[in-house]
Structure 1
Amino acid sequence: MCQVFAGQAPERYSSTTRRLRLNGQSTSIRLENAFWEVIDQIAENDDLTTPIFISTLHSEVLELRGEPENFTSLLRCACLKFLEVSAVSEPEVVAAE
């Protein structure tokens, strides 16, 4: 079983830093490439650019809970949540076809 995880391409777990603005402040976020792929997909699904999606998410979190303790962890968990929701909704799409 671990071969599925251990055998993945190293590019997936290599990190990339992207610079963007959050609430007018220039910042950088470092995530593994696999997470960037999911974040890019979430943004595309919402017809947003990735920086606008991330900035919107950050603003909504500020409004709901205040400044997040670890925003990159929140982004990783958002990716997991997106994948969970996608997995649940896919059977409905298949069933409707």
Structure 2
Amino acid sequence: MCCLFASQSPDSYAFETRSIRLNGQSTSIRLEKVFWTILQQIAAAEEMTVPRFISTLHREVLLQWGEVSNFTSHLRCICLVAIETQRVQRGPGPAEAA
């Protein structure tokens, strides 16, 4: 099992910084490339660009919870929730069904 994780390409967890506007303010967000890929998939499913999705999400979080102390961590958690939601919607895999 560790081979699956150990064999992951270092490029997938390299950081990538992107500039984005959140509520009219320019900022930079630094995430691992794999998270940018997942955010791209989420945004596409919502028929949005990644910057628009992130900006919309940020605005909605502010309205619901107030200021987010670590928005990049929130984005990573959003990616994990999206993956888990997809897994649940697909149903149990062969190993889980046994």
Structure 2 length as normaliser, TM-score?
0.91
* Counterpart Cα distance in 2 of 1:35 and 1:24: 23
What secondary structure does 2:80 align onto?
A: helix
CA RMSD of aligned residues (A): 1.2
Unaligned runs of 5+ in 2: 92-98
User: 1:89 Cα deviation (Å)?
Assistant: 1.1
* Counterpart Cα distance in 2 of 1:36 and 1:6: 21
* Residue 85 (structure 1) aligns with: 85
Task: Count residues with an aligned counterpart.
Answer: 92
* Residue 14 (structure 1) aligns with: 14
Which amino acid in structure 2 is aligned with residue 34 of structure 1?
V
* Residue 28 (structure 1) aligns with: 28
* Residue 53 (structure 1) aligns with: 53
Structure 1 length as normaliser, TM-score?
0.91
User: 1:4 Cα deviation (Å)?
Assistant: 0.8
Q: Deviations over 1:31-85 (max 9, x none)?
A: 0000000000000011000000000000010001001010000000000000011
* Counterpart Cα distance in 1 of 2:39 and 2:88: 18
What secondary structure does 1:51 align onto?
A: helix
Q: What stretches of structure 1 move > 6 A for 4+ residues in a row?
A: none
* Residue 96 (structure 2) aligns with: none
Identical-pair percentage: 55
Which amino acid in structure 2 is aligned with residue 57 of structure 1?
L
User: 1:2 Cα deviation (Å)?
Assistant: 1.3
Which amino acid in structure 2 is aligned with residue 42 of structure 1?
I
Unaligned runs of 5+ in 1: 92-97
